[in-house]
Structure 1
């Protein structure tokens, strides 16, 4: 009896193995046939007649952008944002997947009725929810969207949506951060009106900014300065006397003319400065590098600290160091701290620590009237992205 059962088991295994081998052989035969092509030219450009099936897959995408001008529309001033998490849920509210936006600003959910790896596999209503970073604002007001997918025989994935999710605009939370050793008065202005006045006491200060804030002034104790605000947070570092005058002509130092290549070390002599351990690259040069995209204000090339090591720009003749945009290169280094040190010849005239984000730049504005060397390093040796450098010469 046992022998009979063993023979039956072996026979079954042999049969199953034979069927599997035949199936694999047929599959490879079909692949070879497709690779070889059809010898008959009559069907080379024939219109499709059998609109059935749908064995492929498509990305069903949610687009998220940095709403630079805050108007709630994706316009020419705006740009895609990488690293934002978008989650998909089915119509019962069950979580399906979480995807981060890529360097194009798209969070891609695979849609297919046949592919087991697909997130969206059946008709129904789905919710797509953008995870909004703390302190940020949704300018488009649509971080949660419900859309229906229907069965469409003949469509590449077998499914089609009633529409794609509408673009979601995010604006970073804006604030002014800094330190002062003496008392001073700070005014936040918008369109020529004073929006807020604040007495600064010795120590650290952090002030949130209204959406219409466009100018900052500080007066008292020789700390007088005027700063045009950007769409991003600002860090003034330690307020020091004798800042760059409000009417000084600012010179923008860019990196687009370093090279026509997507990547190159910045040579000494660029913009009349000496450079050390700084490279220039395009935002798309490194795949899935959130900060290289989000910190790229010019849409051309940015600079970054090579291999995360300390980097410098310098000149023999003193120049004014007004400000620079600093971004963490990777979301994995969110919260990295940059140390920016400025010298006038052999004298250290400023040393500030700046908290970085890979989602948006911080506008570091020390407004130093005379320096000859600026050194930028990071506490944990992650790369820092540099753009929007403004000098006075």
Structure 2
């Protein structure tokens, strides 16, 4: 057999006939790889978007360390005088669909549009660009056959910082800020107080009948601080345990999913607490409560959870938020024991828009219960505690 003759005569004849018949449909490279006709409308769509981020260092710049803000309201004023609103997604983007051909989308007509970010209650825009405007023009051949002449810039949001708590009747509260200035906090008839704060270390003094009963040291960071109701009760506090720890749940897993926190993590016992990636459920509160790394914890199925140890430990505090927007205003109930004896009890209101830092300062406890009143998930990050030698 000659080289290259790999088929029988009948097979070769059949293949040759097929090649001849196929020649009528043969094309050129230009036929197979056509260039776009750029003057024609594509009929497609694309997003025109605005990013809202949590400005954690409050410097008015989207920079390293800042995080997306989920569930922020963004309004779009259209040329026809109407306004539509979209909430930012898990990545912090408010998306408006744009097309010159598909008339049932949000941006369909050329003209002047204005974006406006509406912060949640207790939050402020730090970047000075809550309102941004742009003209949109028809551009055949672009993905949506329309483009913006100028695109939006990221909008930063930060929580209004406060120090709040509750005291017994007759107790006065004064706060000394990082600048050394001391001011009295206004205490309401129900014993509650709330005072504006700035980042840094604060001293909170509680006094009754002119006698200073207790001092609480508070470090204000990226979130409002809620003090334990025990802070102003005047009872002497045990000395803090020497060894400080913070767990952020990032070292438990490396991929999205859920992971039951095992006994022994961080040297403590854990019950009904689960770690997950902040975006796994796409619940806005999981994203907006994450402070360190990418993972966060929550009380599984919204049911009561516990942290415990045979050896006494101090619960310093943690960041808490509501996992889901349907749980806005959920009540977190914390209770701690020393053995079988109740030692501390507090309640605070949670939001999916952002976290609060609960400065517990529970000392020498053996069990902490984390419960939500209506059985929604509470998101938890940077759980801080102290242990003994």
Same fold (TM over 0.5): yes
Partners of 2:270 and 2:199 lie apart in 1 by 37
Q: Deviations over 1:206-231 (max 9, x none)?
A: 22324456423325454222111122
| Length-normalised TM-score, structure 1 | 0.84
What corresponds to 2:203 in structure 1?
216
Q: Are 1:58 and 1:110, in contact at CA under 8 Å, matched by a contact in 2? A: yes
Q: Secondary structure of 2:191's match?
A: strand
Aligned residue runs from structure 1 range 330-369, under 5 A: 330-369=324-363
Structure 1 portions without partners, runs of 5+:
1-37
**Alpha-carbon deviation of 1:130?**
1.3
CA distance 1:47–1:269, change in 2 (3 Å): same
The aligned residue for residue 127 of structure 1 is: 114
SS at match of 1:323: strand
| Contiguous gaps of at least 5 residues in structure 2 | 1-24
Aligned to 2:218: 227
Q: Contact 1:188/1:213 (CA < 8 Å) preserved in 2?
A: no
CA drift at 1:271:
1.0
For the structure 1 residues 75 and 50, does the alpha-carbon distance in structure 2 shift closer, same or farther, using more than 3 Å as the test?
A: closer
Deviation at 1:233, TM superposition (A): 1.2
Deviations 1:103-159 (A, max 9, x none): 100000000111233100011001111122223211112222221111111111011
Tell me the CA shift for residue 250 of structure 1. Answer: 2.6
d(CA) in 2 for partners of 1:39 and 1:258?
59
Q: How does 1:324-335 map to 2 (within 5 A)?
A: 324-335=318-329
CA RMSD of aligned residues (A): 2.3
Partners in 2 of 1:199 and 1:242 — Cα distance? 24
Matched, 1:174 2:161: yes
The Cα offsets for residues 27-81 of structure 1, whole Å up to 9 and x where unpaired, read as xxxxxxxxxxx98572455543544213111110011111111111111131110
Q: Name 2:246's counterpart in structure 1.
A: 252
User: Are 2:77 and 1:89 equivalent residues in the alignment?
Assistant: yes
Q: For residue 294 of structure 1, give the secondary structure of its aligned residue in structure 2.
A: helix
Q: CA deviation at 1:277?
A: 0.8
Deviations 1:164-185 (A, max 9, x none): 2221111112222212226254
Residue in 1 aligned with 2:147? 160
Distance 1:137 1:243 in 2: 36
Residue 300 of structure 2 is aligned to residue 306 of structure 1 = yes
1:204 shift after superposition: 2.4
| Conserved? CA contact 1:244–1:320, under 8 Å | no
Q: Which residue does the alignment assign to 2:49?
A: 61
CA distance in 2, matches of 1:268, 1:149: 57
Distance 1:148 1:113 in 2: 14
Question: Once the 2 structures are TM-superposed, how far is the Cα of residue 244 of structure 1 from its aligned partner?
Answer: 6.8
Q: Is the 1:54–1:113 contact (alpha carbons within 8 Å) kept by the matching residues of 2?
A: no
Among 220, 230, 243, the alignment partner of 1:239 is 230
Equivalent position of 2:40 in the other structure: 52
Q: 2-side partners of 1:102 and 1:194: how far apart?
A: 41
Partner of 1:144: 131
Distance 2:237 2:88 in 1: 40
Q: 1:247 to 1:313 in 2, by over 3 A?
A: closer
Q: Confirm or deny that 1:271 pairs with 2:266.
A: yes
